[in-house]
Amino acid sequence: MNGIRVLGTGRHIPSRCVTNDDMAQIVETSDQWIQERTGICRRHFCGEGEGNTSNAFAAAKLAMERAGVGPEDIGICVAATFTADHGTPSLACELHHLLGLPESAPSFDVNAACTGFLHALEAARCYLAAGDPSAPCALVVGSEVLSRVTDFTDRSTCVLFGDGAGAAVIRLDDTVPQATVLGARGDDQVLRCPGIGQEKAYIYMDGKAVFRFAVDAFPKSIHAVLDKAGLTLEDVDHIVCHQANARIIDFVIRKLKAPEEKFYKNIQEYGNTSAASIPIALDEMVEKGIARPGETLLLVGFGGGLTWGGTLLRL
Ligand code: UT7
């Protein structure tokens, strides 16, 4: 069936913790408004000497250690980001260098905004399944420095985002159903960000339109993954949603009439970290013992592009 087995996860959260009260010193907002509308209490921004590559490196190194694999075991490295430190080399190639991965391991970035980690996972899975990889494992990373593309004069967006990185080492497993769905609907109006270096290279968002898109895309993606796998919601131990707004996740729980405890939420701690949010949540769940070996997880996301998708994996 060539599904995904996770061997190890890691995350790195940058050092500067910024509370809602801190944000209220920058723009006209309040802790109450931010918590009620989004569920966010604080977020973390890169401090001195921290950046996308260093965050991603720390997360990836930890994931490899926990997976018990060395560089020679990595057959491909895919990083999801739209805020890499450089245009080139890609984040994945920087990791390739820092981790000493073998020359036979292709390494590249994907940009599918907040759905990036799911696209990166699927690219890695397909490569392992289709090719003749020199090594059996893939290193998949989601890492963003959204503080770099945040307009700190716009209260409707700046309170939402955070920086961070998450990583997973995966391999194929015949006993795990392969059930990925990915989709796109090109639209540069509701959510966009000019390239870094361009004038006003900030995230622009029509929050209400994105909200409407999200509450439609999440349940559809979850149903599509379950259908493809021939499973029901009861067969899945945890749903790991992209963390964009706690109200979006609550809406999906109500719509699916699903048990609330199946849906992990950590947006209160990190805000929306785009491509990093799903692997950060995954790592936290494993570390806290919420997600345990042998359990089946359904990951689901949506984001700029517009993009959406979901996949199934087993720990
Ligand atoms: O990763 C994917 C990217 N993004 C998303 O998933 C975001 C999806 N959208 C959302 O999460 C929500 O739409 C937001 C959190 C962005 C906004 O929440 P909302 O309930 O849709 O609020 P709104 O935009 O309708 O604004 C309501 C009011 C407005 O004031 P008036 O016109 O009612 O007087 C805003 O000006 O809240 C005001 N407002 C704020 N007030 C205090 C907007 N931002 C703030 C703020 N603090 N930070």
Express each pLDDT in 219-256 by its tens digit: 999 999 999 999 999 999 999 999 999 999 999 999 99
- Residue 103 CA to ligand 1 centre (angstroms): 47
Burial of residue 132 (CB within 10 Å: 0-12, 13-18, 19+) is exposed
Closest Cα to atom 17 of ligand 1: 207
Nearest protein CA to atom 12 of ligand 1, as residue: 207
Could you tell me if the CB of 192 is within 6 A of ligand 1? no
Q: How far is the CA of 211 from the centre of ligand 1 (A)?
A: 10
Ligand 1 atom closest to 277 (CA):
1
Predicted local distance difference test score (pLDDT) of residue 15: 92
**How many whole angstroms separate alpha carbon 171 and alpha carbon 291?**
18
Does the beta carbon of 245 sit less than 6 angstroms from any atom of ligand 1?
yes
Q: What is the pTM of this model?
A: 0.97
Q: Measuring from atom 11 of ligand 1, which residue has the nearest CA?
A: 245
Q: What is the pLDDT of residue 199?
A: 83
151-183: per-residue pLDDT in tens? 999 999 999 999 999 999 999 999 999 999 999
Measure 207 CA to ligand 1 centroid, in angstroms.
Answer: 6
How remote is the CA of residue 217 from the centroid of ligand 1, in Å?
19
Q: How many helices (H) and strands (E) does the chain have?
A: 10, 13
Structure confidence at residue 131 as a pLDDT band (50, 70, 90): confident
Is the beta carbon of 159 within 6 A of some atom in ligand 1? yes
Confirm or reject: Cβ of 37 under 6 Å from ligand 1.
Answer: yes
Q: How far apart are CA 278 and CA 286, in angstroms?
A: 12
Looking from the CA of residue 274, the nearest atom of ligand 1 is: 1
Nearest alpha carbon, ligand 1 atom 38: 156
Q: Which residues contact 49 (CB under 8 A, 6 or more apart)?
A: none
What is the reported pLDDT for 1? 62
- Give residue 130's pLDDT: 85
CA 156–ligand 1 middle distance (angstroms): 5
* 211 CB near ligand 1 (under 6 Å): yes
Active site residues per annotation? 114, 242, 272
Give the phi and the psi of residue 203 in degrees, each rounded to 5: -70, 125
Q: Is the CB of 143 under 6 A from ligand 1?
A: no
Give yes or no for residue 30 having a pLDDT over 80. yes
Distance 150 CA to ligand 1 centre (A): 15
Nearest residue (by CA) to ligand 1, atom 26, is 156
